[in-house]
A = this chain, B = another copy of it.
Amino acid sequence: MKRFVNDPKDFVAEILTGIARANPDTLRYEPKYNLIVRADAPVDNKVGIVQGSGSGHEPAHVMNVGPGMLDVACPGDVFAAPPLDYVLAAIRQVATDAGVLLLVNNYTGDRMVFEMAQEMVEAEGIQAQLLFVDDDVAVQDSTYTIGRRGVAGNFFVIKAVGAAAEKGHTLDEVRAIGERVNANMRSIGVALTACSPPAKSAPLFDLAADEIEFGVGIHGEPGRRREKLRTANEIADDMVDMVVSDKPFKPGSQVALMINGLGSTPISELYLLYGHAHQRLASKGIDVARSYVGNYCTALDMAGASVTMLELDDEISSFLDAPASTALRIF
Contact = CB atoms under 8 A, between A and B. Distances in A.
Contacts of A127: none
A193 interface: yes
A267 B59 contact: yes
Interface stretch (A91-99, A146-154, A167-175, A230-238): A230-238
A233 B264 contact: no
Given A159-B331, A294-B330, A320-B331, A267 B6 contact: no
Contacts of A200: none
A82 to B, nearest CB: 16
Contacts of A294: 328, 330
Nearest to A282: B21
A279 interface: yes
Contacts of A300: 266, 268
Interface in A211-239: 212, 229, 231-233, 235-236
Nearest to A63: B267
A63 B266 CA distance: 13
A91 to B, nearest CB: 24
A58 B271 CA distance: 10
A301 B269 CA distance: 10
Most buried by B among A14, A232, A266, A278: A266
Interface of A: 2-6, 11, 14-15, 17-23, 55-56, 58-59, 63, 159, 192-193, 209-210, 212, 229, 231-233, 235-236, 263-276, 278-279, 288, 291, 293-295, 298, 300-301, 303, 305, 320, 324, 326-331
B18 A293 contact: yes
Contacts of A288: 21
A293 B305 CA distance: 21
Copies of this protein, total: 2
A19 B330 contact: no
A61 B268 CA distance: 11
20 contacts: A2-B193, A2-B210, A2-B212, A3-B192, A4-B269, A5-B232, A5-B272, A14-B276, A17-B275, A18-B276, A18-B293, A19-B275, A23-B291, A59-B267, A159-B331, A265-B301, A266-B295, A324-B331, A326-B330, A329-B330
Given A293-B22, A331-B320, A301 B14 contact: no
A303 B3 CA distance: 8
B272 A14 contact: yes
